[in-house]
Amino acid sequence: MRNINKYIQRIAVALCISAGLISCDLNEMPKETASNAAIFGSKNGLELYSTSFYEILPTPYDGVFMVDDNSDLIARNGVDIRFVPNALSPLNSGGWDVKDNWDRLRNLNYFIENCEKSSVAEKNHYLGLARFFRAYFMFEKVKRFGDVPWIDKTIEVSDEETLYGTRTNRFEVMDKILADLNYAIENITLEVDPSSTNITKNAARAYKTRVCLYEASFRKYHTGYGKQSTANEWYQEVISTADQIKGFSLRQGANVYRDMFLQKVPYIEETILAVALDGALQTYSSRNRKTISPTYGNRPALTRRFINTYLNLDGTSFTDKPAYKTTPFVEEVKNRDLRLKQTIRVGDYKRTENGDPIAAPSNLDQSYTGYQLIKGCYDERFPYDDESRNENAHILFRYAEVLLNKAEALAELGTMTDTDWANTIGALRARAGITGSTLTQKPTVADPYMVDFYKNKFSDPVLLEVLRDRAIEMITEGLRPDDLTRWRLAELFAEAPMNGMYVPALGEYDLNEDGIMDVCFYQGEKPKTATATVFVDVSSSGVGKRILSNGTSGEIIWNPGEREWAEKKYLYPIPEAHRIKNPNLGQNPGWE
């Protein structure tokens, strides 16, 4: 199995350098050399070169699992610079260069130019790979900056017109991204990869559904651009492309939702693309350390506002219960969508220390709200909580997302049938242990909690239920911030409450019903007779502190720091250093 990781990428680059293909600076890459002919004159050469493209994918060390920390669904330590009042500016804006630098695009364009001239019979497959990664690279730029330069050739030092040119309209760039993805799908010859670590036709299709859904929503809801009339054709692309993906299914099993994210070798039924990790090659992720450690990382925890959206096992809404707002933790997590207990610590959850199982209730030293994440985290404490040593595969695309993308597009177009519902949302809910008519019949009445959850933006009952399952199924998989952006609901970044479990009164609580007190909430002096493992002072508000919403009772309210949202933040500012080099880049609205 070929691992997509920096170790192999370094090998590929080292071999290329030894062959004289590239120099230290990609801007100095020679166009015609003997080594150039060796690379572009053989299938093995094309394969070797194309391996370098995979470095564009998210690094498994930080991973997509940290992206949702900056969203409305997760309470975390501190506030991202994007949401701190008056913090982000053209002077400190990132993402234009550095690790996402334009040399990667030049590498792709150089390959495309030379590969097109190659006589290798299989060259179109490798051109498809290159154009997939060019689409991936450019889509990330468009999401962040809007208008960006579209460059589809190798830029020479003397090409001042291109080097110092203006940005291309984002909608034109998106059309070109779509063309690249269509080319990739048509020409990549590998349909399915047993290791789930290579770009295949289906990987390109899955990514295309993500890209097209983003663009459709962006055009529909960002009305200031006047592109609403073109949104539906992008929704249609989502549906038609999702229908082309064959050979995948939702893996079944009692604990499969959680187990899927703990595998070193991905489950091939559902995983479309992953980054494989291997300690023997010194390739790890930091998932445990950055999720669970009390001293390292963001210490992310789900909010109660989000927890409330998980359905009961019988398919009814938890928030239909008259007393849902005052239901204590040990009761609210029972008989719920099984994805809940496979995402956070509840009930009889146990961890291990050196292989020995130990009770592990939610630890409020590590979890600000009490809803402590376990998705993607090993149960074994040593060494994973203290060191970046995770080897579980880093999943990037999976079939569940494709179903959700299709379901949302169908709901937006108003063409969802009961059969469509059963094959998408119904199938996901069935795997999660949910029963009842919700598996086979699309809803006809909007859940008022979900209407309020999305600030009355959506009223269609089908769409609201699709969005319920999208958030639940894909939590910590890096999609939520983009979702809020494309729906033009980014005010939730700043307004969504960072609320936690309901506390009936000050005192001690047993969170897993084993007879041992796990947490004590107090004000003033720490109780000397209390036996709890963790003590939480809820005396006063302030940054980095927790209080109870009713003073001595109520929901935990965590204060990570002041947050704000402004319309201009839908796009990041062009970094000032790059504007100085090229004044023709201009600046995004509101950042002048």
Segment 458-481, tens digit of pLDDT: 999 999 999 999 999 999 999 999
% of the chain residues with pLDDT over 90: 88
Q: In a 3-state reduction of DSSP, which class is residue 237?
A: helix
Strands 507-509 and 499-503: unpaired
- Assign residue 478 a region: left if phi > 0, alpha if psi is -120 to 50, beta otherwise? left
Q: Is pLDDT of 332 > 60?
A: yes
Distance from C-alpha of 7 to C-alpha of 391, rounded to nearest angstrom: 14
Q: Which one is predicted more confidently, 2 or 147?
A: 147
Q: How confident is the model at residue 156 (pLDDT cuts 50, 70, 90)?
A: confident
Q: In a 3-state reduction of DSSP, which class is residue 350?
A: strand
**What does the pLDDT read at residue 34?**
54
State how far the alpha carbon of 138 is from the alpha carbons of 56, 535, 569, in Å.
11, 48, 19
Q: Give me the amino acid identity at 102.
A: W
Q: Which of 556, 525, 266 is nearest to 392 (CA)?
A: 266
Q: Which of 347, 460, 356 is nearest to 410 (CA)?
A: 460
Distance from C-alpha of 459 to C-alpha of 468, rounded to nearest angstrom: 13
* 8 Å CB contact between 220 and 409: no
Instruction: Take residue 57 and report the two structure tokens written for it.
Output: 């994918």
Instruction: Take residue 545 and report the two structure tokens written for it.
Output: 């502190």
Q: In a 3-state reduction of DSSP, which class is residue 462?
A: helix
Segment 210-251, tens digit of pLDDT: 999 999 999 999 999 999 999 999 999 999 999 999 999 999
* 8 Å CB contact between 26 and 356: no
Instruction: Take residue 305 and report the two structure tokens written for it.
Output: 């506002």
Kindly state the average pLDDT of the residues 300-313: 98
Q: Which of 27-36, 173-182, 407-416, 437-446 has the lowest mean pLDDT?
A: 27-36
State how far the alpha carbon of 583 is from the alpha carbons of 361, 438, 472, 590, in Å.
56, 56, 44, 17
Kindly state the average pLDDT of the residues 22-39: 53
**Type and span of the H or E element at 52:** none
**To which residue do tokens 């989502």 refer?**
238
* 8 Å CB contact between 189 and 47: no
Q: Give me the amino acid identity at 259.
A: D
Give the other-Cβ count within 10 Å of 365's Cβ. Answer: 13
Please provide residue 310's backbone torsions phi and psi, each rounded to the nearest 5 degrees. Answer: -65, 130
Distance from C-alpha of 75 to C-alpha of 563, rounded to nearest angstrom: 12
Q: Is pLDDT of 2 > 80?
A: no
**Type and span of the H or E element at 293:** none
- Assign residue 335 a region: left if phi > 0, alpha if psi is -120 to 50, beta otherwise? left
| Sign of the CA dihedral running 270, 274, 276, 277 | negative
Q: How confident is the model at residue 42 (pLDDT cuts 50, 70, 90)?
A: very high
Segment 397-454, tens digit of pLDDT: 999 999 999 999 999 999 999 999 999 999 999 999 999 999 999 999 999 999 999 9
| Sign of the CA dihedral running 222, 413, 173, 189 | positive
Q: In a 3-state reduction of DSSP, which class is residue 559?
A: strand
Q: In a 3-state reduction of DSSP, which class is residue 468?
A: helix
**Radius of gyration of the chain measured on its C-alpha atoms:** 25
Task: Provide the whole-model pTM.
Answer: 0.94
